[in-house]
Structure 1
């Protein structure tokens, strides 16, 4: 089994964690908005992490439930594999290594419309990567990113680029998607949970079977050490940093109190952990 594939069970539900690779960020300027950069560097050093860069991994998961194969998020896309010399864009390689045919995926569920989650919907040539899958997207995300008025009001730079990228991806799919609401079941045992802030319709997923449960958090916490210990810190990459911080504290308090397993998209692979209360913040304790 590849070191970039990890399997476990949630009751009768099978979970396969698949690495899409990683990105190294060398500039940490503006990474945190409401504290000085020196505090961020001190937090990294205290955790024994480098202070001159940050490694951000991408980790989609495949859920086998009710006879269906359901992929949650798609990574940065096959086109980035060659551009980054294999650093990222590795989902399809690892999907095959795990024994799955991309054309046998029944559904793809998207947490939010950022490139490292939606670009993998397309092959390098712009054709659908999961030709036989139903594509499910959060209603609130879809309404925002497909609104021409919102696109016209978007600030230059990152927001304008996100609007153009989302139109590129979903127009290539003829906008054939199934929209879902928060608190609805998107697959047997998989319930959409509203966790806004990182994006306007950011969605996480509660996966349950019997008494077993895992919370697939998307981007509620972008860095396992920094934002767990300091949930009030506000990320410069969040749509609404104040709401994202409040969501993070709410979700992590719930996970700690209920002792629910966490499956994280951007934490060190495979991203499976328990959350514990740690003073005024939290600690993420890897399981694998």
Structure 2
């Protein structure tokens, strides 16, 4: 870099710091911290909140359980990632419409896949976002696994005392069936069934049950995303022509799940339906270039999907919505 170039860059930077008042006063379109990311979506404000931050074993067999571990290792090497370690997102999404403050999924709480202190940070994160739990008007659940409903309670008490709740009717019926408690006690199904009974069932009188095609609120529609669980849902959010797809657990790893959508996911209860749902959701996101909130993709858990050969590729949100 020449001295002339350095002087030009320095002068440009200084000019940027001394812009006239109206330019400085413009509202930034994004703000970012280590565990929060906020963007504007038309008239809505969308905030993702990192509920857990921990390196774990994987992504095999969480993704690719029907493949050899060496297949995953090769895919990770191709993408400059560790072969057997990864840091998934556990990322609830907050949508402020101007009329309502709506939370999609609640994180781990103290019972989820990554409990405290590494997880279960939701209440603290809401405070960082300038909100109290009492400010949440509506809690919407993509499904009833522990890392999505664990944050409904805090210290044994309901965390969102003024909120209503939205749950898929098919999902709620599945987990209400007592045969879920006959599953192996070491497995995810049994644990989720127990947490469902302690955390969600007591809220039943405040729950609105929905099905695909219903509206959660103006601008927010319910989409079928069955397979991961029998009633797993996704949500299409739109404001002033800008769109967001909140797809819950349609990906457990932003490289492996998208590049190999037909590889089985360990926690999918219906493997074939889960794979079909992934293809449907990825195709929607890629075709319409919709911003995606992916619960388990790396924080900020926001990005875009493009087609890549027989699979897809995740493009993380960086500065696409800035300015």
TM-score (norm 2): 0.83
Q: Is 1:43 paired with 2:80?
A: no
In structure 1, C-alpha distance between the alignment counterparts of 2:84 and 2:180, rounded to whole Å: 35
In structure 2, C-alpha distance between the alignment counterparts of 1:168 and 1:8, rounded to whole Å: 34
Aligned pairs for 1:90-129 within 5 A: 90-123=121-154, 125-129=155-159
Secondary structure of 1:160's match? helix
2:313 matched residue in structure 1:
283
Note if contact 1:127-1:172 (Cα within 8 Å) is conserved in structure 2: no
Aligned pairs for 1:68-107 within 5 A: 68-78=100-110, 84-85=116-117, 87-107=118-138
Secondary structure of 1:136's match? strand
Note if contact 1:206-1:213 (Cα within 8 Å) is conserved in structure 2: yes
Superposition deviation, residue 52 in structure 1:
2.8
In structure 2, C-alpha distance between the alignment counterparts of 1:27 and 1:206, rounded to whole Å: 30
Note if contact 2:104-2:141 (Cα within 8 Å) is conserved in structure 1: yes
2:183 matched residue in structure 1:
154
Note if contact 1:78-1:92 (Cα within 8 Å) is conserved in structure 2: no
In structure 2, C-alpha distance between the alignment counterparts of 1:83 and 1:230, rounded to whole Å: 29
In structure 2, C-alpha distance between the alignment counterparts of 1:196 and 1:115, rounded to whole Å: 17
Secondary structure of 1:21's match? coil
1:180 matched residue in structure 2:
210
Cα–Cα, structure 1 residues 29 and 283, in superposed 2: closer, same or farther, change >3 Å?
A: closer
Note if contact 2:245-2:292 (Cα within 8 Å) is conserved in structure 1: yes
Secondary structure of 1:58's match? coil
Note if contact 1:189-1:209 (Cα within 8 Å) is conserved in structure 2: yes
114-123 or 248-257, which moves further after superposition? 248-257
1:34 matched residue in structure 2:
66
Note if contact 2:59-2:253 (Cα within 8 Å) is conserved in structure 1: no
Q: Which has the larger radius of gyration?
A: 2
Superposition deviation, residue 28 in structure 1:
5.7
1:2 matched residue in structure 2:
33
Note if contact 1:70-1:187 (Cα within 8 Å) is conserved in structure 2: no
TM-score (norm 1): 0.93
In structure 2, C-alpha distance between the alignment counterparts of 1:39 and 1:236, rounded to whole Å: 15
Q: What are structure 1's unaligned runs of at least 5 residues?
A: none
**Which of 16, 20, 37 is equivalent to 2:47?**
16
In structure 1, C-alpha distance between the alignment counterparts of 2:139 and 2:234, rounded to whole Å: 14
Superposition deviation, residue 24 in structure 1:
3.0
Cα–Cα, structure 1 residues 129 and 152, in superposed 2: closer, same or farther, change >3 Å?
A: closer
Secondary structure of 2:89's match? strand
In structure 2, C-alpha distance between the alignment counterparts of 1:281 and 1:274, rounded to whole Å: 14
Secondary structure of 2:305's match? strand
**Which of 278, 294, 302 is equivalent to 1:264?**
294
Superposition deviation, residue 161 in structure 1:
2.1
In structure 2, C-alpha distance between the alignment counterparts of 1:27 and 1:181, rounded to whole Å: 33
Task: Say what the alpha-carbon RMSD is for the aligned residues.
Answer: 2.0
Superposition deviation, residue 90 in structure 1:
1.2
